Amino acid sequence: MSATRKSILVILVILVADQVLKILVKTNMTLYQQIPLLGNWAFIHFVENNGMAFGLNLPGSTGKIILTLFRIGAVVAIGFYLRHLIRLKAHPGLIISLSMIMAGAFGNIIDSVFYGVIFDNSSPVRAARIFPPEGGYAPLLQGKVVDMFYFPIIRGNYPDWIREGTGFIFFRPVFNLADASITVAVAMILFNQKRFFRHLSPEGDRESSGEKDEPAHDLPETEQERTGSAG
């Protein structure tokens, strides 16, 4: 399978899985509803946010539109860079990682751009409906991102001299499959920088073009050099 087809397949698999999961959660769970998966360590916990990964956001409708447009621009830039890497025959791991980042960013863009138009508002007492007769809960570009994975693996209390002994939870943020795809891909790139970016080094350029260093050969000694060495 070519690098282009692998990239497209990774993007489609992650994107479809992300959207199917979000639609199932949004249309079957009430806001803040929680379903345990692994005791007190893992939950499906339905929340929505206006912004970036792991619930971070920019305030106001203007901030929401700016963030959505930034995401769209980032996906376009990643797409061009991904095509460039494929043409350079870059490391397959780097191409897969960039495909995962692109899929994750695109998955959250779909929420931001379309969910406000195609769903009505989720609430703690009622699940959302898709394509409601009265229309959606927000204009285009102002939809909320659906999050559902919650892993409060460690629970405890700070010492009394830190935050007066208040409780803490690790890992607190709620995220979705698109966020996870981006995070895993970034970690893959960070841990494999030397291998993934070998095409940027002179050695990598020679390897990709098929060039090899020619062994050095001794040049024949000229008559003048032989005469000079004899004198």
Q: What is the DSSP string of 18-81?
A: HHHHHHHHHHHS-TT-EEEEETTTEEEEEEEESSSGGG---SHHHHHHHHHHHHHHHHHHHHHH
Q: What integer is the mean pLDDT of 213-231?
A: 52
- The model carries a pTM of 0.79
210 in the Ramachandran plot: left (φ > 0), alpha (ψ -120 to 50) or beta? Answer: left
Flag whether pLDDT at 101 surpasses 70. yes
Flag whether pLDDT at 219 surpasses 60. no
Confidence of residue 1 (pLDDT cuts 50, 70, 90): confident
Q: What percentage of the chain reaches a pLDDT higher than 70?
A: 80
3-class secondary structure, 152 = coil
Q: What integer is the mean pLDDT of 78-86?
A: 94
Q: What integer is the mean pLDDT of 9-33?
A: 97
| Segment holding 83, helix H or strand E | helix 60-88
Q: What integer is the mean pLDDT of 2-28?
A: 96
Give pLDDT, residue 208: 47
Closest to 52 (Cα-Cα) out of 183, 216, 200, 140: 183
Name residue, tokens 């009265």: 134
Query: Mind telling me the catalytic residues?
Result: 147, 179
pLDDT in tens, 46-55: 999 876 555 5
pLDDT in tens, 172-198: 889 999 999 999 999 999 999 888 888
How far apart CA 29 and CA 20 sit, in angstroms, is 14
The mean-pLDDT minimum among 29-33, 169-173, 174-178 falls in 169-173
Domain boundaries, the chain: 3-205
Confidence of residue 77 (pLDDT cuts 50, 70, 90): very high
Burial (CB count <10 Å: 0-12, 13-18, 19+), residue 54 = middle
Flag whether pLDDT at 63 surpasses 50. yes
Confidence of residue 160 (pLDDT cuts 50, 70, 90): confident
Q: Is the bond preceding residue 171 a cis peptide, omega within 30 degrees? A: yes
